[in-house]
Chains A and B, each alone.
Chain A
Amino acid sequence: MGESGCGKSTLGRTILRLEEPTTGEIFFEGQEITKLNGAALKNFRRKAQMVFQDPQSSLDPRMRIGDSIDEALLVHGLGDEKERWRRVEELLKRVGLEPEYAQRYPHEFSGGQKQRVGIARALAVNPRLIVADEPVSALDVSVQAQILNLLQELRDEFKLSYLFIAHDLGVIRHISHRVLVMYLGKIAELSPTQEIFAHPLHPYTEALLSALPIPNPHLKRERIVLQGDVPSPMNPPSGCRFHTRCPKVFEICPHIEPPLIEKFPGHWVSCHLHQARNVVGEERPG
Chain B
Amino acid sequence: MSDSRPPVTLMELVLRYRRRIFLLAFLLYLVLLGVDLATEGRILPPTAYAYLLFLLLLLFYALPPLYSSRRLTRYYWERTRRHRLALLGLGFIFLLVAVALVGPFLTADPTRVNFKEKSLPPVGFSTEQFTFDITTGQIVTKETPGTWSHPLGTDGEGRDMVAMLVSGARVSLQVGLLATGIAIFLGVVLGIVSAYLGGWVDNALMRFTDIMMTFPFFLLLIFIVYRFGQSLELIILAIGLTGWTGTARLVRSEALSLRTRDFVVAARALGASGTRIVFRHLIPNTVSTIIVIATLSIPGIIVAESALSFIGLGDPTVASWGRTLSAGQRALDTAWWIAVEPGIVLFLTVLAFNFLGDGMRDAFDPRSEA
Contacting B at CB under 8 A, from A146-189, are none
B261 is an interface residue with CB less than 8 A from chain A: yes
Contacting B at CB under 8 A, from A25-64, are 41-42, 45-46, 48-50, 52-54, 57-64
Contacting B at CB under 8 A, from A65-92, are 66-68, 70-72, 75-76, 81-82, 84-86
Q: Are B268 and A46 in contact (CB under 8 A)?
A: no
Closest chain B CB from A279 CB (angstroms): 44
A101 is an interface residue with CB less than 8 A from chain B: no
Q: Are B285 and A61 in contact (CB under 8 A)?
A: yes
Contact with A along B48-80 (1 / 0, CB 8 A): 000000000000000000000101100000000
Q: Are B2 and A50 in contact (CB under 8 A)?
A: no
Q: Are A75 and B276 in contact (CB under 8 A)?
A: yes
Q: Residues of B contacting A16 with CB < 8 Å?
A: 269
Q: Which of B2, B69, B271, B276 contacts A46 (CB 8 A)?
A: B271
For A13, A61, A76, A107, the residue with the greatest tally of chain B CB atoms inside 10 Å of its CB is: A61
Q: Are B262 and A54 in contact (CB under 8 A)?
A: yes
Q: Are A62 and B2 in contact (CB under 8 A)?
A: no
Q: Are B270 and A85 in contact (CB under 8 A)?
A: no
- Size bin of chain B's contact surface: 20 to 34
For A45, A57, A66, A85, the residue with the greatest tally of chain B CB atoms inside 10 Å of its CB is: A57
B198 is an interface residue with CB less than 8 A from chain A: no
Q: Are A75 and B271 in contact (CB under 8 A)?
A: yes
* Given contact pairs A18-B269, A52-B265, A82 touches B4 in the complex (Cβ within 8 A): yes
Which single residue of chain A is at the shortest CB-CB distance from B3? A85
Closest chain B CB from A77 CB (angstroms): 11
Contacting B at CB under 8 A, from A218-240, are none
A125 is an interface residue with CB less than 8 A from chain B: yes
Contact with B along A114-126 (1 / 0, CB 8 A): 0000100100010
Expressed in whole angstroms, the Cα–Cα distance for A64 and B268 within the complex equals 18
Q: Residues of B contacting A13 with CB < 8 Å?
A: 265
Q: Which of B4, B269, B369 contacts A50 (CB 8 A)?
A: B269
A197 is an interface residue with CB less than 8 A from chain B: no
Q: Are B71 and A105 in contact (CB under 8 A)?
A: yes
B118 is an interface residue with CB less than 8 A from chain A: no
Expressed in whole angstroms, the Cα–Cα distance for A18 and B262 within the complex equals 11
B234 is an interface residue with CB less than 8 A from chain A: no
Contact with A along B1-38 (1 / 0, CB 8 A): 11110000000000000000000000000000000000
Q: Residues of A contacting B69 with CB < 8 Å?
A: 62, 64, 105
Q: Are A50 and B271 in contact (CB under 8 A)?
A: no
Contact with A along B256-278 (1 / 0, CB 8 A): 00000111011111111100100
Q: Residues of B contacting A121 with CB < 8 Å?
A: 266, 270
* Given contact pairs A18-B269, A41-B271, A45-B270, A85 touches B263 in the complex (Cβ within 8 A): no
B281 is an interface residue with CB less than 8 A from chain A: yes
B229 is an interface residue with CB less than 8 A from chain A: no
Q: Are B269 and A84 in contact (CB under 8 A)?
A: no
Q: Are A42 and B261 in contact (CB under 8 A)?
A: no
Q: Residues of B contacting A70 with CB < 8 Å?
A: 1-2
Q: Residues of A contacting B72 with CB < 8 Å?
A: 62, 105
Q: Are A60 and B270 in contact (CB under 8 A)?
A: no
* Given contact pairs A70-B2, A84-B2, A105-B71, A18 touches B272 in the complex (Cβ within 8 A): no
- Interchain Cβ contacts under 8 Å between A and B, 15 examples: A46-B271, A50-B266, A57-B262, A58-B262, A60-B263, A60-B285, A63-B280, A64-B69, A70-B1, A71-B267, A71-B270, A75-B270, A107-B369, A118-B266, A121-B266
Extra contacts, 4 of them, besides A58-B263, A71-B270, A105-B72 (Cβ < 8 A), are: A13-B265, A54-B262, A62-B69, A121-B270
